[in-house]
Amino acid sequence: MPEVNAVLGYLPDDQAKALAAGKYNGPVEVRSDAGSDAVHVRIDPQDIAGVLLGASKKGETGVQVFLNDKAHVETVTRGLAEELRLRPIKDPVLWPYRPPVVGIYAHPNWIKQLVELQRAELLKK
């Protein structure tokens, strides 16, 4: 069965809608934690196969960014240098007390259709 990689996280509402509509230029910085800019994943828009939007809360929208085959991403941690040496990276896989990450699981053959349907809805508005 084919596989598709995705990045789950948060974007400001306007950026999330623009990205889902295919109208976004420049690198995309998906935050790993809502309300925090300490850790994010940077993706070149050319490496994005599609985007599904989740719920919006406090000006941020949950996103699932599907990546093209062999896409490159950068994980960036921001903070004071001395703090970064002592602070662990909050990876949801490694941190047992974090609430589960909710994602949409779709067969890779359906991703293009889901993204196109969502894009059509956004363009209607």
Residue 29 sits at φ, ψ, to 5 deg, of -115, 100
- On whether residue 53 sits in a domain, the answer given is yes
The answer to the question of residue 84 being in a domain is yes
Give per-residue pLDDT as tens, 39-85.
899 999 999 999 999 999 999 999 999 999 889 999 888 776 666 55
The count of domains in the chain is: 1
- Domain range enclosing 99: 6-124
Residues near 82 by beta carbon (within 8 Å), at least 6 away in sequence: none
């609430």: which residue's tokens?
Answer: 99
Say if 1 falls within a structural domain: no
Residue 110 — pLDDT band, cuts 50, 70, 90?
Answer: confident
